[in-house]
Chains A and B, each alone.
Chain A
Amino acid sequence: MTDADMASPVGDTDAILEFRGVTKSFGGRAPAVRHFTLSVPRGQLVVLIGPSGCGKTTTLRMVNRLIEPTDGSIWLEGRNYKSYNPVELRRRLGYVIQRIGLMPHLTIGDNIAFVLRLLGQAPQARRARASELLEMVGLDPAEYLDRYPTELSGGQQQRIGVLRALAHDPDIILMDEPFGALDPLMREQLQEEFKRLLRTVSKTIVFVTHDMDEALSMADVIVLMKDGAIVQVAPPEEMLRHPADEFVASFMGRHRVLRQASEVSVADVMIASPVMTPEASGLARSLELMRRRRVNSLLVHDAGGHYVGVVRQSELQDHIEAGDQSPVGSLADRTADTLAPSDSGLTAMHQLLSHQQLDSLPVLDADDRIVGLVTRGTLVGLLGDALRVAADVQEIRAEAASAPAGEVAR
């Protein structure tokens, strides 16, 4: 029995959405989705994740019949998908896509209420609903209702894209990498906002992503797919702790909670894209970069990506006030220790803790190129994970202790 079978007993009455042996093949090629069986309980956020081409988007698009399954069936609220007219079915679901797809010729208000228009609601009612939704995400209806999508930033546009999927209050919302095209800061902001939104409106969500950070932060259940088939279905915590196989483990990558801190390498925990600046950059620009990214030090690199040193905010500020015009490279300090990706987490912890004035250590490869950064924050997280695992181990021992005496005796 696979995990998929265990997690999704066929005929689960609690399920609002059920896939039963769904297979999709395009032409003569290997099936894009193979025997996909899953049941989604009402109110859950299920994330489909996997490498590109694993069939996650195809699976999603079969739910609203933009793609027809070759074999198997999908059940929505206890009814076979075939009993719904495709158009009628789609109007019952919410749909958010990575390309956003707002209608450029319609106002924000009309975009949000698009499905309501398809459903034949009166213009005033549609406008009222659009206002209500804008208010829910803290956008002023007076300002936004009559503007056009092109006048909005990408992040704002996708906010509208999400509201549009909520307008007709569907029970199920399908989201295909909804935040994938946004920059990391905006993505995180929209994820948080969306999670907040979900606390006020209870929805069942099928969410496709290839970003494990996103999956871990959003999912109630993660469905990891590979080559069209389910590899593992589990809540985030469980998937982190008990990956079903090597593939899952490697896909979770640096997110895996390792059992002992000594097993963790610096590469596992480091911030892989630290805030950096070229040495030729100006002081004011560097300071601006720090403010924008909310960091208090910057790694300085040369044209070849080699580590030059680190520059701190206070220093930078002093020099700007003194009217210094030199590039940021001249302030870079190289005296502090550095780490290699293969160093253990313990080494990193030791070095950081023994230098009180250090907040972070750069991670350099063999050629002196910057590959990451380890901060005190990272290590606290690592420590936290280690403690949690330790607590789990204790719990397991406690359970074992309350089990039949014969087994514990050994």
Chain B
Amino acid sequence: MTLFLHTYQFFTQHPGTIWRHTLQQLYLVAIPLAAAILVAVPLTMLATRVRRLYGPVMGFANAMQTIPSLALLALMIAIGLGIGVLPAVLALFLYALMPIVRNTYVGIMGVDPGVKDAARGMGVTSWQLLWMVEMPLALHVIIAGIRSALVATIGFATLASLIGAGGLGSLIMEGMGLASNSIVLAGTIPAIVLAFLAEGLMSRVERVLTPRGLRV
């Protein structure tokens, strides 16, 4: 009971601290994720056209997600990027690639070959095939990939404080250092809320972007 009371007190007495860390957490998630989308989606689309690209692209993304997250962070230091926001953002970016690459590829390759044949036979250019046929039909699959990348990134981002990137993780670390559970909770609760909000938001987006004709 006292724990809740203390936590509540921490929230009311240090709203600025919590907001600051939450905000840091937000861009620790948003920047790498945005970058991952901007890189992974076009690159994978290219890989659906130039098949031999897919192996290296997917292989790289896969490797990045297979490396234990802590090791990936440590690696950033080892390769000389030092500590702080930049190496953390880079590590998070690399970590977020795989689900997006995978789902973009699966989404586009999964478009009914009959639909693609009909479209080509009616005279779409290869751009039109992508924009008018493949993208609309693959979008909800791509969004699902972004959704799992987002949730993973939010989880991973709390670790980023280990290399001095700030965020809610640093509150958690601080609390653990001071053996203060209320400070730990002040870091964990917003992190959990953030994860659920993001998940909820993305599942809505996914639903909205599913073409009406594909909804069951």
Contacts and interface: CB of A to CB of B under 8 A. Distances in A.
Given A66-B121, A118-B123, A149-B213, 14 more contacts: A64-B121, A87-B124, A89-B123, A90-B121, A95-B118, A97-B114, A100-B118, A101-B112, A103-B119, A105-B212, A107-B213, A114-B119, A114-B122, A148-B213
A99 B114 contact: yes
Nearest to A89: B123
B121 A174 contact: yes
Nearest to A105: B211
Instruction: List the 10 closest pairs (A to B, CB-CB), nearest first.
Output: A101-B118, A99-B114, A105-B211, A148-B213, A90-B123, A95-B121, A91-B123, A101-B114, A104-B213, A105-B136
Interface string B120-154: 11111100100001001100000000000000000
Contacts of B114: 97, 99-101
A97 B213 contact: no
Contact of B118 (A102, A107, A148): A102
A158 to B, nearest CB: 12
A161 to B, nearest CB: 8
Interface string B159-189: 0000000000000000000000000000000
B115 interface: yes
Interface in A99-119: 99-107, 114-115, 118
17 contacts: A90-B121, A90-B122, A95-B118, A95-B122, A99-B114, A99-B117, A101-B112, A101-B116, A101-B117, A103-B118, A103-B137, A105-B211, A114-B119, A118-B123, A148-B213, A150-B214, A161-B118
A140 interface: no
A101 B213 contact: no
A179 to B, nearest CB: 15
B113 interface: yes
Contacts of B118: 95, 97, 99-103, 161
A105 B124 contact: no
A88 interface: yes
Interface residues of A, number: 29
A157 to B, nearest CB: 11
Interface of B: 112-125, 128, 133, 136-137, 211-214
B131 to A, nearest CB: 12
Nearest to A106: B213
A104 B136 CA distance: 10
A118 B214 contact: no
A101 B118 CA distance: 5
Interface of A: 64, 66, 86-91, 95, 97, 99-107, 114-115, 118, 148-151, 161, 164, 174
Contact of B133 (A86, A95, A103): A103
A91 B213 contact: no
Contacts of A87: 123-125
| Residue of B136, B212, B213 contacting most chain A CB atoms (<10 Å) | B213
A64 B212 CA distance: 31
A297 B135 CA distance: 53
B122 A105 contact: no
B122 to A, nearest CB: 5
Contacts of B116: 101
A99 B120 CA distance: 14
A361 B116 CA distance: 48
A90 B119 CA distance: 10
| Residue of B113, B117, B137 contacting most chain A CB atoms (<10 Å) | B117
Nearest to A150: B213
Contacts of A164: 122
B123 A101 contact: no
A89 B122 CA distance: 9
B60 to A, nearest CB: 31
Contact of B120 (A66, A107, A151, A174): A66
Contacts of A161: 118
B122 A118 contact: yes
Nearest to B137: A105
A93 B113 CA distance: 20
Nearest to B120: A66
A210 to B, nearest CB: 18
A66 B117 CA distance: 9
A322 B128 CA distance: 65
Contact of A101 (B115, B125, B128, B214): B115
Contacts of B113: 99
A149 B212 CA distance: 10
Given A99-B113, A105-B214, A150-B213, A91 B122 contact: yes
